[in-house]
Amino acid sequence: MTLQTKAETVLRPTGEKPIRIGTRGSILALAQAAELRARLMAVHDLSEDCFSIDVISTAGDRIQDRALNELGGKGLFTEEIEERLLSGELDMAVHSSKDMPTVLPEGLELSTILPREDPTDAFLSHKANRLEDLPQGAVVGSASLRRQAMIKRQRPDLQLVNLRGNVDTRIRKLADGDVDATLLATAGLNRTGLSEHITTRLSTETFLPAVGQGAVCVEVCIRNSDVKDFLAPIHHHESGLCLWAERAFLRELDGSCRTPIAAFATIEDDIMSFRGIVLSTDGQTSFETARGLKAPDDSSAAALGREAGQSIRKEAGETFLKDIIHNQHVLETR
Q: Catalytic site residues?
A: 99
Structure-derived torsion over alpha carbons of residues 249, 167, 201, 213, reported in degrees to the nearest 10? 20
**Paired strand residues for 292:** 273
Which among 157, 215, 160, 211 is positioned nearest to 183, based on CA atoms? Answer: 160
* Sequence-separated (6 or more) residues with CB below 8 Å from residue 212: 96, 97, 98, 100, 243, 246, 247
For residue 167, the Cα-to-chain-centroid distance in whole angstroms is: 14
DSSP SS3 for 241: helix
Contact 20, 84 (CB under 8 A): no
The residue type found at 108 is: L
Cα–Cα distance list, 83 to 11, 117, 167, 227 (Å): 22, 28, 26, 17
* Sequence-separated (6 or more) residues with CB below 8 Å from residue 246: 211, 212, 263, 264, 265, 274, 276, 305
